[in-house]
Structure formats: structure tokens, C-alpha cells
């Protein structure tokens, strides 16, 4: 999820930089591919659910159910191939991000991402939501969590109607998580879970909320949260991570 969202942000970071033009185009191309794959995955999951509903209705018809189960396996194979393709794209993104990092350190980014560890950005002068969000994300990636918290909150306050508010709450939660302020992190993840049920970071927010609960010593509540994630997004990467966490603790999932 984190890498996918970088596709939306990094082209802004590289604007005006001749050396990064090809990298920005590559990232945009991958972004388009991932959007198509996500749509395909959603369609396959919908088909899988519809077939399962048929199996439940035809509990006594073994012949019909056998055909349905065979089709279900085909869909699962298709989903597995989709997940493998996403992994390949993730590897490409990692390579491109490494390239961007090298260019940044060599000074080829026209100073857009200068280090800002000593003073905060003058947020009152930022009127463009993309710029503000990009700045907040950049500070998060550099480990400037306190600054990123201020910037994400500023984004939410200034642009409450933006379609990235759910993402802002998610990344705000991650900032708090990194600072081990788990109660604040949970509050941010809860905003995504309760207010943005169609968010593309919903599964990630559910996972991180569960992990934050474990960190707080609320293992029972954490387990329930991870089990809900697995039930809602059974084929997601987040669900796989949740299963590993529960298995490590010998908790049924």
C-alpha cells in the first residue's frame, strides 16, 4: 500500500528535474498498471463471493457444487497470479525509489526535498493540497514524524473534502505508531475504518490498528481486529501478515 501511494506523490517531487523525467514517467506507467490490476482483483473477489453464495444455497446438490468449486479454484489461481504481478511491480518501484534517492542525495532534485530537521515548513503559505500532502509524506519518509504529524493535521484541516483525507489519517496514524504513541495511532486508524469504508488503505489501517493494540498490551482486542481484517480482506497482503501474527501467538484465525 505504501509503495502504491508513492506512485501518486513522487512525480510531484521530481517536477522540473530533467534527470528524473524518465523515472517519473516509469512511475506513472506502473501506477496505471496497478490501478488496472486492482480493478481486476476486485472483480475476481466479487465472483468468488458470488460462487460461495451459490454453494451455500445448493448445499444438497453435490454435482452443481463440484462445478462451482472447480470454478472457485480457477478464480483463486487467477488471484494468485494477480498478487504475483503486484509483487513484480513492487520490485520495480523499489528500484525506481532507490534511483530517486540517489538523485536526491546528489542534489539533482533542485532542492525540492531539502532536509528540514531544524525548522518546520511554513504551512500557512501552502495553498495546494497536493503540495502539502507531498511535503507531509516526504517528512514521514525521512523520519521527521513530529513535522509530518503537523503537516498531515494541517492537510486534514485545510482540505477536509479532499479524496486523500483518508490517506492523511492513515499516514498520521503511522507517524504516531513510529513514535510509539499507540493510542493516538489507533484513533487515526479508527477514522479510516469508521468514516471511509471504501478507502484503499482500509485493510492497512485495520492491520496497523490491530498491531497497535498488541503493542499496548490489549492482545484480545488486537486479535479480534486482525480476525476482522482476515474476514473482510481474505486475499490481501495485510490479511497474510495478520495470519502470521496470530499464528505466531497460537491464536486461531
Tell me, yes or no, if the pTM score tops 0.85: no
- Asked whether residue 148 carries a pLDDT value surpassing 60, the answer given is yes
Considering the domain architecture, whether residues 140 and 72 belong to the same structural domain is answered as no
**Residue 57: domain span:** 2-105
Q: From the CA atom positions of the chain, what is the Rg in Å?
A: 21
Q: Would you state the pLDDT for residue 54?
A: 78
The pLDDT > 70 percentage for the chain reads 70
Considering the domain architecture, whether residues 217 and 132 belong to the same structural domain is answered as yes
Contact in structure between 6 and 97 (CB atoms under 8 Å): yes
Look-up: residue for cell 453435490? Answer: 62
Q: Would you state the pLDDT for residue 175?
A: 95
Instruction: Characterize 128-155 residue by residue with b for buried, 16 or more Cβ atoms within 10 angstroms of its Cβ, and e for exposed.
Output: ebeebbbbbbbbbbeebbebbbbbbbbb
Considering the domain architecture, whether residues 131 and 232 belong to the same structural domain is answered as yes
Name the grid cell of 24.
517519473
Q: Would you state the pLDDT for residue 12?
A: 41
Q: Would you state the pLDDT for residue 118?
A: 39
Q: How confident is the model at residue 59 (pLDDT cuts 50, 70, 90)?
A: low
State how far the Cα of 198 lies from the Cα of 85, in Å rounded to an integer. Answer: 23
Contact in structure between 76 and 82 (CB atoms under 8 Å): no
Tell me 92's DSSP state.
H
Phi, psi of 86 (to 5 degrees): -60, -40
Q: Would you state the pLDDT for residue 192?
A: 97
Name the grid cell of 29.
506507467
Considering the domain architecture, whether residues 22 and 48 belong to the same structural domain is answered as yes
Contact in structure between 201 and 170 (CB atoms under 8 Å): yes
- Boundary of a domain, candidates 53, 71, 105: 105
Considering the domain architecture, whether residues 188 and 158 belong to the same structural domain is answered as yes
Name the grid cell of 194.
469508521
Contact in structure between 181 and 215 (CB atoms under 8 Å): no
Contact in structure between 166 and 195 (CB atoms under 8 Å): yes
Q: Would you state the pLDDT for residue 113?
A: 39
Q: Nearest to residue 97, comparing CAs of 216, 4, 207?
A: 4
Considering the domain architecture, whether residues 89 and 149 belong to the same structural domain is answered as no
Q: How confident is the model at residue 140 (pLDDT cuts 50, 70, 90)?
A: very high
Considering the domain architecture, whether residues 43 and 92 belong to the same structural domain is answered as yes
- pLDDT tens column, 180-234: 999 999 999 999 999 999 999 999 999 999 999 999 999 899 999 999 999 999 9
Residue 117 lies in a domain: no
Amino acid at each position: 500500500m505504501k509503495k502504491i501511494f508513492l506512485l501518486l506523490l513522487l512525480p510531484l517531487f521530481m517536477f522540473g528535474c530533467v534527470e528524473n523525467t524518465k523515472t517519473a514517467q516509469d512511475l506513472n506507467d506502473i501506477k496505471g498498471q496497478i490501478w488496472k490490476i486492482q480493478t481486476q482483483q476486485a472483480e475476481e473477489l466479487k465472483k468468488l463471493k458470488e460462487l460461495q453464495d451459490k454453494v451455500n444455497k445448493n448445499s444438497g446438490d453435490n454435482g452443481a457444487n463440484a462445478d462451482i468449486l472447480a470454478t472457485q479454484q480457477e478464480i483463486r489461481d487467477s488471484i494468485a497470479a494477480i498478487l504475483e504481478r503486484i509483487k513484480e511491480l513492487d520490485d520495480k518501484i523499489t528500484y525506481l525509489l532507490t534511483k530517486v534517492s540517489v538523485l536526491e542525495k546528489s542534489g539533482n532534485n533542485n532542492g525540492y526535498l531539502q532536509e528540514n530537521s531544524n525548522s518546520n515548513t511554513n504551512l500557512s503559505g501552502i495553498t495546494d493540497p497536493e503540495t502539502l500532502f507531498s511535503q507531509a509524506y516526504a517528512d514521514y519518509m525521512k523520519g521527521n514524524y513530529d513535522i509530518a504529524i503537523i503537516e498531515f493535521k494541517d492537510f486534514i484541516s485545510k482540505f477536509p473534502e479532499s479524496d486523500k483525507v483518508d490517506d492523511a489519517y492513515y499516514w498520521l496514524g503511522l507517524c504516531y505508531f513510529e513514535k510509539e504513541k499507540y493510542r493516538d495511532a489507533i484513533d487515526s486508524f479508527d477514522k479510516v475504518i469508521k468514516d471511509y469504508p471504501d478507502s484503499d488503505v482500509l485493510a492497512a489501517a485495520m492491520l496497523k490498528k490491530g498491531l497497535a493494540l498488541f503493542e499496548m498490551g490489549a492482545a484480545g482486542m488486537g486479535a479480534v481486529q486482525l480476525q476482522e481484517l482476515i474476514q473482510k480482506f481474505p486475499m490481501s497482503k495485510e490479511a497474510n501478515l495478520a495470519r502470521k501474527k496470530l499464528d505466531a501467538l497460537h491464536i486461531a484465525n
